[in-house]
A and B are shown apart, each in its own frame.
Chain A
Amino acid sequence: MKLWTKTVLAMLPALMLLGCGTSGEVEDETDSGVSSSSSTDESGSSATTSGVGSGDMASGEGMGEQEAGFSGDPLDDPSSLLAKRVVYFDFDQTEIKSDFRAIIQAHAEYLANNSSVMVTLEGHADERGTREYNIALGERRANAVQRLLTLQGASASQIRVISYGEERPAALGHDEDSLALNRRVEFIYNR
């Protein structure tokens, strides 16, 4: 265990460099995520995600090396952007907010580099409005994430889209913070 930790620590500076060097765009996105986290009606969810996101120095090409340091799969690396598996949406919207583009890009790159890995995108909606419309809304959100994943290198055959609409809320409250947590797409890796 100790040896393993040392290996990772020794690799960190290199990984950080890689992360900064290869994807300036990722940093930009992360910054904008932080700045926007206090605005909009989804402040709760944005705060959670951007908080972890900003600590994620290792991303993009860094993955390959990390793989060796961890248990063989970067999906298990808690400090990776891949640890973020939820994308949140504004009310009645299916547009992907800039805060989540870096996360989706990390997943796209992971899928592109691991063509045998399958992911299910679960679309969800908050409780407002009718159930079947919300099933459609959840699917449209999941499709929006799928589109971005495939544009960034993932294969459509690796991705399955399903929608639960408002049927499986992540938070049970009726307040805006709860509703914001329920308007989401979840990455479920089938491993």
Chain B
Amino acid sequence: MYKIKLFTNTVSGFYLLLLAGTAQAVLNIEITQGVEGAVPLAVVPFAWQVPPQNPQTPAELLPPKKPPIDIAAIVRADLARTGRFEPLPPKDMLARPNVDSTINFSNWRIFQSENLVVGTLQYLGADRYKIRFRLFDVFKEKQLEGFSFSVSGNNLRRAAHQVSDIIYEKLTGERGAFTTSVAYVTAAGVGKARRYSLWIADADGYGPQSMMRSREPILSPAWSPDGTRIAYASLEDNGHQAVFVQNIASGHRDKVSSHKGINGAPSWSPDGKSLAVTLSKDGNPEIYVIDLTGKKQRRLTRHWAIDTEPTWTPDGKTIIFTSDRGGRPQLYQVPSKGGKARRLTFEGKYNAKASVSQDGKKVAMIHRAGGKYRVAVMDLKSGNLRVLTDGSLDESPSFAPNGGMIIYATSAGRRGILKAVSVDGNIHQRLTVPEGDVREPAWSPFPQ
């Protein structure tokens, strides 16, 4: 008998967006480079089970004729997208066992599938569904995981990503980030017709929701640590820059900073109570820490040079920022309570726009080498810097909350696209929208 754990995480912290969105900015994600020797595995289409019905059952209580979503297909796509797994196409499968079947492992060994996932999607009535699945080691003929959880119809897709998270963590030892989201900005149209939009989509590009639209550029979206709000800088009011904090569920937004000059580059403190921002109200760009009403502010830097692009380290104790006080833009670190700034980067003449991994150990940045602007990652302890990409105009790196991937903006021909690279530089993804430019990606924290 296999042990089936009760999965009680009933997507309570789920923040779905209520704002109307269109499908025009759907991100298409493709792997451009994967790991050599990706692990072959099989994810069998989940069996569809409905409760017995009688002729008296009213039409509105009848189950859907077919499963509302293909859970196995979503899991296969999630795992394939990491570049670390190579799922067996369903058409090649010799058998389609489900969660209650006896498994004939030889059916999977002949494809060298190292792992097998079988599952069942069951309709419980009243828009409730139960998902059960098992993960096997094919060669050891042993179950590695077994899960059962129930969700409502509109959370099925997210539940499929949770299945991916569980499988990924079991097989790699690293937490999956399949239930996370990505914020990004699109720009389409030319001249006076150019429009900028801020979007939030699932990490697989699905279900983009428009957060806001503007005739003026939108910059530096940043997720609150609890994932419920997003801060950004917007050049509205005839070119005047302001920082806003927008509630994702309600769409309500507050202007938290609109001083004379630059109001930009917001970054949330890990406790979600403050923002580090760039303000030039006193003559040139300096880093400030402000509260969410914008009334309290504390100046952190005091230098004639450009100080901008602040980002908090996850312990909340320091802020890393870009400054050209040494003549060229480099990263510096300053205590968040105030103090002396210390230079962090020494390799190359241009290092800017830091993103810190959740474990606080790595800093991603834009690094110039040979006239090319590329994503590099530095180990904070050793100071070792490694260039991860081969682009020429990379911008805006943002760590996934599990620290495995870095999403960034770059250009392909004349178009702005997004790419993602694994922190070891081995896996490369390309994320495109059907038309226009896409830029300023920000990976969400884990849902709470």
Contact = CB atoms under 8 A, between A and B. Distances in A.
A164 B414 contact: no
B373 A131 contact: no
A131 B218 CA distance: 11
B285 A136 contact: yes
Interface string A119-133: 010100001111111
Contacts of B283: 143
B78 to A, nearest CB: 30
Contact of A164 (B239, B350, B366, B440): B239
Nearest to A138: B262
A130 B322 contact: yes
B306 A164 contact: no
Given A132-B278, A139-B285, A163 B262 contact: yes
Interface string B261-296: 110110000000000001010011100000000000
Contacts of B239: 120, 122, 162, 164
Interface secondary structure of B, over-half rule: strand
Contacts of A140: 284, 306
B219 interface: yes
A130 B285 contact: no
B219 A131 contact: yes
Nearest to B280: A139
Given A136-B308, A140-B306, A164-B239, A129 B329 contact: yes
A124 to B, nearest CB: 11
A135 interface: yes
Nearest to A190: B238
Contacts of B308: 132-133, 135-136
Contacts of B393: 127-128, 174
A135 B350 contact: no
Nearest to B351: A130
B211 interface: no
A164 B235 contact: yes
Which of B262, B278, B353 has the largest number of chain A CB atoms within 10 A?
B262
A136 B261 CA distance: 10
A132 B240 contact: no
Which of A129, A130, A133, A174 has the largest number of chain B CB atoms within 10 A?
A130
Which of B233, B308, B411 has the largest number of chain A CB atoms within 10 A?
B308
Given A139-B262, A161-B261, A164-B235, A133 B373 contact: no
A136 B217 contact: no
A61 B171 CA distance: 80
Nearest to B278: A132
A132 B414 contact: no
B316 to A, nearest CB: 22
Given A127-B393, A129-B373, A130-B396, A136 B350 contact: no
Interface residues of A, number: 25
B235 A136 contact: no
Contacts of B395: 129-131
B373 A164 contact: no
A184 B217 CA distance: 18
A46 B354 CA distance: 35
B235 A167 contact: yes
Nearest to A188: B239
A130 B309 contact: yes
Nearest to B264: A132
B440 A131 contact: yes
Contacts of A135: 219, 241, 262, 264, 308
A162 to B, nearest CB: 4
B210 interface: no
B220 interface: yes
Which of A136, A139, A161, A167 has the largest number of chain B CB atoms within 10 A?
A136
B117 to A, nearest CB: 41
Contact of A133 (B235, B241, B306): B306
A55 to B, nearest CB: 30
Contacts of A26: none
Interface of B: 217, 219-220, 233, 235, 239-241, 261-262, 264-265, 278, 280, 283-285, 306, 308-309, 322, 328-329, 350, 352-353, 366, 368, 373, 393, 395-396, 411, 414, 439-440
27 contacts: A120-B239, A128-B393, A129-B329, A129-B350, A129-B352, A129-B366, A129-B373, A130-B322, A130-B352, A131-B219, A131-B396, A132-B264, A132-B308, A132-B309, A133-B309, A135-B308, A136-B262, A136-B285, A139-B262, A143-B284, A162-B240, A164-B217, A164-B235, A165-B217, A167-B219, A174-B393, A174-B411
Given A127-B411, A174-B411, 9 more contacts: A120-B239, A129-B329, A130-B366, A130-B396, A131-B219, A132-B233, A132-B353, A136-B262, A140-B306
Interface of A: 92, 120, 122, 127-133, 135-137, 139-140, 143, 161-165, 167-168, 172, 174
Q: Which 5 A-B pairs have the closest CB atoms?
A: A167-B217, A130-B353, A162-B239, A136-B306, A132-B265
